[in-house]
Structure 1
């Protein structure tokens, strides 16, 4: 089935709105309400788990062998660990990110009395006071603190203002949308993936596209801390495609343009047949793609499978430079991903055996095992050794 045209203006507007909503893991109520409203506006009924993970169903030809797509709405952040005698806050990360990228970050501390703005700084931040000692400060969360923009000279002042250990800190994304198509911001992981899903759904909705099976549109709320889609999938889901960030860096094959299909992450290889299907859809629909293997990466699929979901899983990504730092992506990748999603959900189901949780060997898949036949160019008769 051919890809659908994507409204990139809607995609960009939606991403801007998502980035404007603070949503570190554990503080996701507002963004869940926003995404739920968008889904309802696109004609879907929404249900939430107890903690706020989102399920939305777009009916297809059958509920058997349903397909699911998932992105996560939560982001990295920080949390208060101590009210310090100097009137500042000790902090620890929410999710895995380096204190190198925390230094200088602006953010909001959410207390029960309301939010306070502040800045994460090295313990020795003043060059006029510490001179070269500033450059010799180690990098780590034990070597930074949060200066709150409030009248707080000691721990008692902080407590009086309402600060407590455990308060969650949202880090400002500081987004820039450039005319060249580049987008620079924190938290593109995975708000860009959420925007991709909504843009693909909008294209399907406006085209009144039909799908061979039900499509579950899922949004997890704790991926950054490893929980992910562990409690999101229903038993009728047979395949899960995760939309998240790829990693463009030396030694990686990800790219900021086109779709980056992950063949494996640190939890192991993704499903051979589903990954191959997505690759073939890129080829037949003229969608630029490349493949990569992520060595220090875990996504919603791993948490779902570890929790016991017997699904075929794959990961398609938008290449991100400086992941979990000041991230950069390009609209070309987001559009390409949304196009692939529309082609995938409309495509026929080849493995109908997956309609049932278990079955006998008949109809089970096959992987190629024969030795490949090497094709020689017509003007070359010698073998690879030149003999």
Structure 2
């Protein structure tokens, strides 16, 4: 299946997604990109009240609906206060270390459509001035944004149209290297979204009908915990596509498709997980089975939201998650190949 993947298409889309700002709750622009891609492939898209997307692919057996989810929302921030000196205080959107965004370029998006650039700094940004600049703890209370505008006061900032509650996005710094590595912020989970569209493109181009009807769920609030808390009632099972973590006692690498057996929400469905492992072996994919105790997914949100489903989780291996992330093209190809095998296989209680 990996030979059939339109790699150029997937990488082009991934780069476009990475360079489109989309902190949780600020996803209308990126959802227009998603809608355009879906329609270009010949699929219609509808929307949830939270702004997520739903794409349906008819299957051979419509009596069973398999959900596939990925999220376009990312880590980010919001303006918490405008300081008297013209700097901005901010509050986190999503969970990350302050050290992971210190000295990062960012954009402030005003509610009237304007965008301004800035840099995230501590309140003691220079070792030449502050003797404890290296040692003091990085936390929200000591972080601020320096705007790249001639502002000297809070009134100057307000004249730009910037106010409390404006969204802040981080420069992704996306790089696609000849070695096959992809390094960027927000590979969690834009690599997963690109993998789902790689599947859609393959199904359309090769005229493959999935075994069961598919409903793709593109969520917009995953990083704050409730991305797929709502699912259409017809979905019988949900396979979330999100990044695989690396480090400590985990076996996943940047070239693997990760199969998560358990995360902070508990064990994933035994039969689904076992089937995914079986298919990964059959297709001779590079894969890893891991447990992520500090991790949650769209499938976690759906289960906690009361959905009567079976659920599992896979995704490309990503190093330094919620920081300066890196994966490899091979991990994306392995993920698409596993997805393709899964949706074209008749199995389970309704098979």
Interval containing the TM-score (normalised by the shorter chain): over 0.9
Q: 2:37 is matched with which residue?
A: 38
Tell me whether 150-159 or 97-106 shows the greater mean CA deviation.
150-159
Q: 1:129 is matched with which residue?
A: 129
Secondary structure of the residue that 1:224 maps to in structure 2?
Answer: helix
> Aligned runs of 1:358-377 on 2, under 5 Å?
none
CA contact (8 A) 1:222 1:228 kept: yes
Q: 1:144 is matched with which residue?
A: 143
Q: Point out where structure 2 has 5 or more consecutive residues left out of the alignment.
A: none
Q: 1:286 is matched with which residue?
A: 284
CA distance in 1, matches of 2:248, 2:48: 39
Compute the displacement of 1:255 (Å).
Answer: 1.4
The structure with the larger Rg is 1
Secondary structure of the residue that 1:228 maps to in structure 2?
Answer: coil
Secondary structure of the residue that 1:64 maps to in structure 2?
Answer: strand
Compute the displacement of 1:177 (Å).
Answer: 0.8
Q: 1:304 is matched with which residue?
A: 302
Secondary structure of the residue that 2:91 maps to in structure 1?
Answer: strand
CA distance in 1, matches of 2:233, 2:40: 27
Compute the displacement of 1:126 (Å).
Answer: 2.2
Which stretches of structure 1, 4 residues or longer, exceed 6 Å deviation after superposition? Answer: none
- Alpha-carbon spacing, 1:4–1:278, altered in 2? closer, same or farther (3 Å): farther
CA contact (8 A) 1:69 1:240 kept: yes
Q: 1:97 is matched with which residue?
A: 96
Residues 1:262 and 2:260 aligned together = yes
Tell me whether 188-197 or 248-257 shows the greater mean CA deviation.
248-257
Compute the displacement of 1:3 (Å).
Answer: 6.5
- Alpha-carbon spacing, 1:299–1:99, altered in 2? closer, same or farther (3 Å): same
CA contact (8 A) 2:24 2:220 kept: yes
Residues 261-300 of structure 1 deviation map (CA, whole Å, 9 limit, x = unaligned): 0000011000000001111111111112110000100000
CA distance in 2, matches of 1:234, 1:3: 31
Residues 63-83 of structure 1 deviation map (CA, whole Å, 9 limit, x = unaligned): 212111000000000111111
**Aligned pair count?**
350
Compute the displacement of 1:10 (Å).
Answer: 1.2
> Aligned runs of 1:20-35 on 2, under 5 Å?
20-35=19-34
> Aligned runs of 1:107-126 on 2, under 5 Å?
107-113=106-112, 114-126=114-126
Compute the displacement of 1:158 (Å).
Answer: 1.3
Compute the displacement of 1:13 (Å).
Answer: 0.8
Secondary structure of the residue that 2:20 maps to in structure 1?
Answer: coil
Q: 1:50 is matched with which residue?
A: 49
Q: 1:380 is matched with which residue?
A: none
CA contact (8 A) 1:242 1:316 kept: yes
Q: 2:334 is matched with which residue?
A: 336
CA contact (8 A) 1:45 1:57 kept: yes
CA distance in 2, matches of 1:62, 1:4: 27
CA contact (8 A) 1:73 1:220 kept: yes
CA contact (8 A) 2:192 2:243 kept: yes
Secondary structure of the residue that 1:227 maps to in structure 2?
Answer: coil
CA contact (8 A) 1:121 1:146 kept: yes
Q: 2:246 is matched with which residue?
A: 248
Q: Point out where structure 1 has 5 or more consecutive residues left out of the alignment.
A: 354-387
Compute the displacement of 1:201 (Å).
Answer: 1.0
Q: 2:158 is matched with which residue?
A: 159
